[in-house]
Structure 1
Amino acid sequence: MAILKAPQPRYRLYTRFKSYASFASDLILGRIKKGSDVRRLEEALSKKFEVSYVAAVPMARVGIYLTLKYLIKPGQGVIMSPYTVADIVNMVICAGGVPVFCDIEQKSCNIDPDKIEKLIDERIGAVLITHLHGVKAAAHEILKICHKHNLPLIEDAAQSFGGREDKKRLGTIGEAGIYSFGMYKNINSWYGGAVVSKNKDLIDKIKSELERYDFQNIGFMAKRILKGLLTDILTQPLIFKPITFWIFRFGFLYDISWINQRVEIELDAKRRDVTPAHYLARLTPFQARLALCQLDRIDPESEVRIQKAAFYHQGLQDIPNLVLPAKGNNLSDIYTVFPIQYRDRKKLLKWLMFNKRDVAAQHLKNCADLPAFSAFYRDCPVARKTANEVIVLPTYPRYPISEVQKNIEAIRAYFGAK
């Protein structure tokens, strides 16, 4: 039967039964906003990542906004990758900064260190780097450039929680680092994140502002949790294999937009000059408790993803038409997904979907080309090319090695590789 040949889903949330049960019990008992767990989470992160100061925030993007607000002066430029979530560009603008787009390296999909220094002048106030896909962004090399010009380095480690570079955790190398505990991240408290820094004054200012905010709205959180529950149901193999996969396969193969839009992001990027009111909230003790119980799983799960990335590297490295990320070592690259690049992405994806492989395009855009940010346009040809070529292969812990092997076999078959 064809149904029996359906694959495992391209992604599953890092959720457990407790992710839902704890919300229900805390809601019934009135404990969502009670407890000292936010402080406990900050202390646990400080110890685990060996960083001096931590501020829990309602979302990673809010952490970026607050960090920039207190590190740069209004009107200063922030050098950053254009290959990122559009709302990260908005957080730079909302913090009073001016996005200065710097092109990226093709293999890593991260900002190109060799191009940063050419953009530095008296108008620049900070450098913001992103460790995308769980792949490190040469933070130490960029830090040397920042030190030379007396600029703070800010690390967006939202997709790389737990990764390392030269034995230091990503996010702890520069002046400040930002983590995400969002629904699709490898630590999930539905919304949430943290800013870490060796700069006590910065963290004190961020915490002082956070104290003026209300806790995250319970209704807002509940909608996110319901979306997560629906995602978990639809990607549960007993549902995914006979139903979900075939719907999305049909939609992709026959270009049915109302189906495809359910799994795409960044469809209508807009510029923001003011931070949305619902962003300005505090992480609840419930969310902190949820994050705390996941901390010990971070490194073991990273090792599982690294093992799957090693299979992809071994199985695809001899195909000349593919661009693969560099090989990491010792938790340096934790591969929250395994990104490959191919010039005719749509054709390869259709081949894979036709052959019952559930993988996806990376839907991030080259923000330097978006009409919403035309005021900050800069020609970034590598980011433009990359945005049209990246395919993300699954690595999440519950994804079987046998499925990794089937992905490799299908890709090799497309290229006629033996």
Structure 2
Amino acid sequence: MTDSKHHFIPYGRQSIDDEDIQAVVDVLKSDYLTTGPAVDNFEKKVANYVGVKYAVAFSNGTAALHSACFAADIGVGDEVITTPMTFVASANCILYQGAKPVFADIDPQTYNIDPNKIKEKITDRTKAIIPVDFTGQPVKLDEIIKIAEEFNLVVIEDAAHAIGATYKESRVGSIADMTMFSFHPVKHITTGEGGIITTNNKDLYEKLTQFRTHGITRDKSLLKENHGPWYYEMQFLGYNYRMTDIQAALGASQIDKLDKFIERRRNIVDQYNKGFSNMNEVINPYQETDGNSSWHLYVIKLNKDLLSIDRKHFFEELRQASIGVNVHYIPVHLQPYYQELGYKKGDYPYAEELYEQIITLPLFPAMTDEDVEYVIDTVKNIAIKPR
């Protein structure tokens, strides 16, 4: 039975314990509050976790993506291919550099960008590809990297949803030229706001580090002049995109729990999959055989041919039952700003059709089995209720 008195279940929520709180308190009592030893420690932990040489932390995931576009020398006149089925930041970071986002439609089965569609969109102006691991499901990285090598393109993987995911036995974050993870509170681990870029490329690492600090360096080997120990140079126009030690201390404490969080997410997904397995009204999300998703989101697709209720009313009834459902995402090219830039409805039919049919159900480690059963029962009752 649905029960409007049930406690509210958000679609995502951070899991913070006393250990995390103590880590932040320790920094508050220390000499450093902004970028200091805690940021360095967090970067090393993330780099070790995904298996790369370098990680550079930023104030948020969008700042990290923008910095990656800068490091890849993306600029005016360039084109960068990404998916329309993502949060606006995946495309906005291209605009920040004066370049043009070019969307490639999704694979209707996986909901991820379709490598074949990427190939169709390449021109002599294409500089990079920003594939997005939608919901935590890794994109077909081997196919995308092969295309990138063929056309000499940079791959910036937007893995905001996918820390802890694996692709063909390798950790996401260790495969693309640069990979971005986000630490917003609904993600797997949080720093409040925050993002990071992982890479094995030293040149990219140095550019990223300098870009997040106004384009300033104190590295003696990079200075054009040297007036003394106080001397620094601003060598290009960077931004203040630094992470604080307060945020990094929280992140470093959280990453120790990441595998446990992901295990719980996968348990919940198994429960959902089982719960909806005998229903034709609801289509479970696709599970990639090559990649092991870290399950940031659980997105169901409504079979509109079998339902006597539309998505809007389905969504509203779930909300009325205290289930904080959401929709991920409104395709980027449908946003008013992008429409003004000339992108049109009808350009990416698979993304648009998917958007009309999806609802994101709650998924976070602190959900109880009872919460999950309540969501399953409520979805079933709404789907089969005679109108």
TM range (shorter): 0.7 to 0.9
**Match of 2:135?**
133
Contact 1:159 1:180 in 2 (8 A): yes
Q: What displacement does 1:102 show?
A: 1.1
Give, as a single letter, the amino acid of the residue that structure 1 aligns with 2:275. Answer: G
Partners of 1:213 and 1:185 lie apart in 2 by 29
1:364 aligns with 2:336: no
1:81 aligns with 2:47: no
Contact 1:213 1:281 in 2 (8 A): no
Partners of 2:187 and 2:98 lie apart in 1 by 28
**Match of 1:116?**
118
Give CA-to-partner distance per residue, 1:41-81, whole Å, 9 cap, x none.
Answer: 22222222111221111111111111111213432111001
Partners of 1:100 and 1:297 lie apart in 2 by 37
Contact 2:330 2:355 in 1 (8 A): yes
- Change in Cα spacing, 1:298 to 1:328, as seen in structure 2 (3 Å) is farther
**Match of 1:392?**
360
Contact 1:23 1:32 in 2 (8 A): no
Contact 1:302 1:331 in 2 (8 A): no
Q: Name which of 102, 105, 108 aligns with 2:104.
A: 102
**Match of 2:165?**
163
Partners of 2:324 and 2:9 lie apart in 1 by 10
Q: Name which of 321, 327, 333 aligns with 2:293.
A: 333
Contact 1:303 1:331 in 2 (8 A): no
Structure number having the greater helix percentage:
1
SS in 2 for 1:177: strand
Partners of 1:154 and 1:77 lie apart in 2 by 13
Q: What displacement does 1:306 show?
A: 0.6
Give, as a single letter, the amino acid of the residue that structure 1 aligns with 2:371. Answer: E
Partners of 2:11 and 2:48 lie apart in 1 by 33
Give CA-to-partner distance per residue, 1:314-337, whole Å, 9 cap, x none.
Answer: 221333333322225798112122
Give, as a single letter, the amino acid of the residue that structure 1 aligns with 2:131. Answer: I
Q: What displacement does 1:7 show?
A: 5.2
How does 1:56-67 map onto structure 2 within 5 Å?
56-67=57-68
Q: Percent identity?
A: 25
Q: Name which of 329, 337, 346 aligns with 2:312.
A: 346
**Match of 1:47?**
48
- Change in Cα spacing, 1:200 to 1:213, as seen in structure 2 (3 Å) is closer
Give, as a single letter, the amino acid of the residue that structure 2 aligns with 1:303. Answer: E
Partners of 2:148 and 2:314 lie apart in 1 by 40
Give CA-to-partner distance per residue, 1:194-225, whole Å, 9 cap, x none.
Answer: 111121111111112223379xxxxxxxxxxx
Give, as a single letter, the amino acid of the residue that structure 2 aligns with 1:301. Answer: F
5+ residue gaps in structure 2?
A: 217-237, 305-309
**Match of 2:382?**
414
Contact 1:357 1:407 in 2 (8 A): no
**Match of 2:276?**
316
Contact 1:155 1:174 in 2 (8 A): yes
Contact 1:364 1:387 in 2 (8 A): yes
SS in 2 for 1:38: helix
**Match of 2:369?**
401
Partners of 1:34 and 1:115 lie apart in 2 by 41
- Change in Cα spacing, 1:69 to 1:31, as seen in structure 2 (3 Å) is closer
Q: What displacement does 1:119 show?
A: 0.6
Give, as a single letter, the amino acid of the residue that structure 2 aligns with 1:56. Answer: A
Q: Name which of 156, 179, 191 aligns with 1:177.
A: 179
Contact 1:14 1:184 in 2 (8 A): no
**Match of 1:212?**
214
Partners of 1:372 and 1:392 lie apart in 2 by 25
How does 1:269-280 map onto structure 2 within 5 Å?
280=240
Larger mean CA deviation between 327-336 and 182-191 belongs to: 327-336
Q: Name which of 328, 336, 343 aligns with 1:377.
A: 343
- Change in Cα spacing, 1:282 to 1:60, as seen in structure 2 (3 Å) is same
SS in 1 for 2:127: strand
Q: What displacement does 1:23 show?
A: 4.8
Partners of 1:34 and 1:136 lie apart in 2 by 31
Paired positions, count: 352
Partners of 1:330 and 1:149 lie apart in 2 by 24
Partners of 2:371 and 2:5 lie apart in 1 by 14
**Match of 2:33?**
32
1:307 aligns with 2:273: no
Q: What displacement does 1:25 show?
A: 6.1
Give, as a single letter, the amino acid of the residue that structure 1 aligns with 2:379. Answer: I
Give, as a single letter, the amino acid of the residue that structure 1 aligns with 2:196. Answer: A
Q: What displacement does 1:17 show?
A: 4.3
- Change in Cα spacing, 1:347 to 1:4, as seen in structure 2 (3 Å) is closer
Contact 1:56 1:195 in 2 (8 A): yes
Contact 2:82 2:90 in 1 (8 A): no
Q: Name which of 146, 152, 155 aligns with 1:153.
A: 155
- Change in Cα spacing, 1:182 to 1:7, as seen in structure 2 (3 Å) is closer
Q: What displacement does 1:408 show?
A: 1.7
- Change in Cα spacing, 1:300 to 1:18, as seen in structure 2 (3 Å) is closer
SS in 2 for 1:340: strand
**Match of 1:202?**
204
- Change in Cα spacing, 1:146 to 1:323, as seen in structure 2 (3 Å) is farther
Contact 1:78 1:124 in 2 (8 A): yes
- Change in Cα spacing, 1:79 to 1:376, as seen in structure 2 (3 Å) is farther
Q: What displacement does 1:189 show?
A: 0.9
- Change in Cα spacing, 1:188 to 1:6, as seen in structure 2 (3 Å) is closer
**Match of 1:229?**
none
5+ residue gaps in structure 1?
A: 215-276
Give, as a single letter, the amino acid of the residue that structure 2 aligns with 1:69. Answer: F
Give, as a single letter, the amino acid of the residue that structure 2 aligns with 1:36. Answer: P
